C-alpha cells in the first residue's frame, strides 16, 4: 500500500455530535501523535485490534496544513472512524503523523478491518 492521500466520495465527521466539549470531552475524539502511539492504546498484547469492540469502518489519509492553509506535501496524517459496537459509541481517531515505514502495518490493519466488515455483511455477498 502506497502512502498517499485518499480520495473518498464523501466525508465523515471528525467529531461525535453527541459528545460536547464543555468539560474537556474533545467531542469524543481520540488523538495520537504516531502510529506507534495508536497501537499502544488500541491494540491487544497479541499485536491486533479487537474488531468486535473497536470496529473501524472508514479511514482517511491526508496532508496536514501549514499556517497559510497550504498542504505540507511531505507529511501525512490518518483518520480512523471507530464504532464501539457494544456501547453504540462513535469515536473519530486522529493519528497526527504517519510515515512510509508505518505503511506495512497500516495496510495489514486496514485489510483486517476490511475482512471484518466483509464478514459482517457475508449474507449479501
Q: What is the pLDDT of residues 59-82, one digit of tens each?
A: 999 999 999 999 999 999 999 999
Instruction: Please give the model's pTM, rounded to 2 decimal places.
Output: 0.90
Query: In the structure grid, which three cell numbers stand for residue 18, read together?
Result: 453527541
pLDDT category of residue 22 using cuts at 50, 70 and 90: confident
Whole-angstrom Cα Rg for the chain:
15
Task: Give dist(CA 69, CA 74) in Å, integer.
Answer: 15
Q: What are the beta bridge partners of residue 71?
A: 65
pLDDT digits (tens, 9 = 90+) for 40-62: 999 999 999 999 999 999 999 99
Amino acid at each position: 500500500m502506497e502512502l498517499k492521500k485518499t480520495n473518498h466520495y464523501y466525508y465523515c465527521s471528525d467529531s461525535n455530535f453527541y459528545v460536547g466539549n464543555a468539560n474537556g470531552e474533545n467531542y469524543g475524539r481520540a488523538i495520537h501523535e504516531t502510529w506507534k502511539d495508536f497501537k499502544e492504546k488500541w491494540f491487544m498484547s497479541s499485536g491486533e485490534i479487537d474488531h468486535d469492540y473497536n470496529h473501524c469502518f472508514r479511514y482517511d489519509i491526508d496532508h496536514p496544513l501549514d499556517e497559510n492553509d497550504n498542504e505540507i506535501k511531505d507529511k501525512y496524517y490518518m483518520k480512523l472512524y471507530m464504532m464501539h459496537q457494544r456501547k453504540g459509541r462513535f469515536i473519530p481517531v486522529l493519528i497526527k503523523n504517519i510515515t512510509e515505514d508505518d505503511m506495512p502495518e497500516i495496510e495489514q490493519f486496514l485489510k483486517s478491518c476490511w475482512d471484518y466488515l466483509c464478514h459482517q455483511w457475508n449474507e449479501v455477498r
